[in-house]
Structure 1
């Protein structure tokens, strides 16, 4: 059980854009090579407006209560006392039906996807690999990729899961492509994430640009710039959206969310643990925000009643239901 009381939502409420920016700064400071420039830029942002500091302190206090403040973030705290949060709980009920049928699985696996894969991660595992050309690829939980480098191409096939790619310059000017079940991505000197979803591919660009081409509609081409994301099928590309910290925070071992439905949040969290994690209809539409550690999903689940009006029913570690 968590002994430290978790903070309630800030009062008065803080604008969505400010909270999302505070979350983005915290994710940036979790990186393995945080620079003094990044720390100074974060400090300047926090000093620009009282609400910036309130949002930062709330996020920092919440993460500290979870035992989840990396040194790079702790050292960036200006030392101001956090504001006194009100007792308001962020809560929005929505009608939804949660599918509760299906067999319980003690262990999820990807037998078909892993056949012939060069790099594979299991449930809850993340790994970073460096390809022959110097490109760095982070593999998320439950991910499988195949590598095909030749004299004319650099191709990574994403068979399952999600990857974050930081492409290296190639003296031979071979194009760098990522193939998914829905189509082909071409990196234009970039850092980006790709996730294989059910009948869709999600792509988010953090640096540079990425060309998207659906498999069954090769004449439809969209180029995403830094800060943009989209999803596409074999025939269609969705309208471009603004990239989110959730797209990349998993590379730092965190799940950074703002105002996310609880059922969506639990679906994301369940990708990092074995067994069944779900909620009932009364809890599905509750909203949750914060930065959560992916390496300790049990602790995150235990924290939920401190954040939302829910109870946890845990028959075993592998069968958990959150009830509103």
Structure 2
């Protein structure tokens, strides 16, 4: 079986995608010197950028986001993905709708969601599985195992037998109860809403968790246990909730639910947000922020949005 790209390789590919998207968009003030520094800082960066250039030259009709989605894939897989992308792009020019940098592993997964989508399934044993935005899972129910390929899930195990969730960093075993599991770039977050869970990193001892506990873990071990606010899991009901949260953190979370590019001025980071927002309409969330905070939303297109500080008019 082909080994999946490392989180580092995925992040490098995404960084190259962001640079290419900026240049192709015609955005003013693109920092070409910063791009050059990024390319020269690591041979892997330069290799990813060269792949980007070759893909752009060969598939000029494929939007940059779709081309870059395949940068960390073997040649045959890239051709297969791009062939599919060309067919879709013919009827859906706004290619961001297909999801940002969605890798081939996610397309092949048994269950998956697009950016901004949440879906629920009932498994054969009666357990409930819900996928958050831009997520993918493979099923091996005979072995009582799920493979979290990408994104975030909520799993409620109702049977007497536990279910195991395989991740790149180790295995989470959910006993009768409910847990949310979220893959991040370098870690995996596990939050226990009810029942008990065991976290087994690839290297390190197993840690047991109980209701109300949360940890981040990597291949080398499990971090410290903490509590969490159950409101953080509001995505299960299609809600994004903030309680005096820094705007920068809120926008980073909102960005997960929006296809395309969402950018904001750094001087907005420390503004505070409180409220509950329906994820079904992220444009409306941005409009509500604009109405309640000193900022304005500039939409070059539905898929290229910039949030700036509102200018005072004398």
Q: Post-superposition shift, 1:255?
A: 0.4
Unaligned runs of 5+ in 2: 1-16, 22-64, 66-94, 310-314
Give the match's secondary structure for 1:304: helix
Matched, 1:114 2:115: no
Question: Pick from 157, 176, 188: which aligns with 1:167?
Answer: 157
| RMSD, matched Cα | 1.7
Unaligned runs of 5+ in 1: 1-99
Q: Post-superposition shift, 1:286?
A: 1.5
Question: After superposition, what is the alpha-carbon deviation per residue over 1:33-79, rounded to whole angstroms, capped at 9, x for unaligned?
Answer: xxxxxxxxxxxxxxxxxxxxxxxxxxxxxxxxxxxxxxxxxxxxxxx
| Contact 2:179-2:192 within 8 A present in 1 as well | yes
| Contact 1:176-1:186 within 8 A present in 2 as well | yes
Count of paired positions: 218
| Cα distance between partner residues in 1 of 2:304 and 2:107 | 29
What TM-score do you get using the length of structure 2 for normalisation? 0.66
Question: After superposition, what is the alpha-carbon deviation per residue over 1:118-151, rounded to whole angstroms, capped at 9, x for unaligned?
Answer: 101111111101111111101111110001122x
Give the match's secondary structure for 2:221: coil
1:169-248 paired onto structure 2 within 5 Å: 169-170=159-160, 173=161, 175-217=162-204, 220-248=205-233
| Cα distance between partner residues in 2 of 1:101 and 1:287 | 27
Question: Pick from 90, 107, 116: which aligns with 1:124?
Answer: 116
| Cα distance between partner residues in 2 of 1:195 and 1:103 | 28
What TM-score do you get using the length of structure 1 for normalisation? 0.64
| Cα distance between partner residues in 2 of 1:159 and 1:261 | 30
| Cα distance between partner residues in 2 of 1:225 and 1:211 | 9
Q: Greater RCO between the two (CA within 8 Å, min separation 6)? A: 1
Q: Post-superposition shift, 1:115?
A: 4.9
* Alignment partner, residue 254 of structure 1: 239
Question: Pick from 270, 295, 299: which aligns with 1:285?
Answer: 270
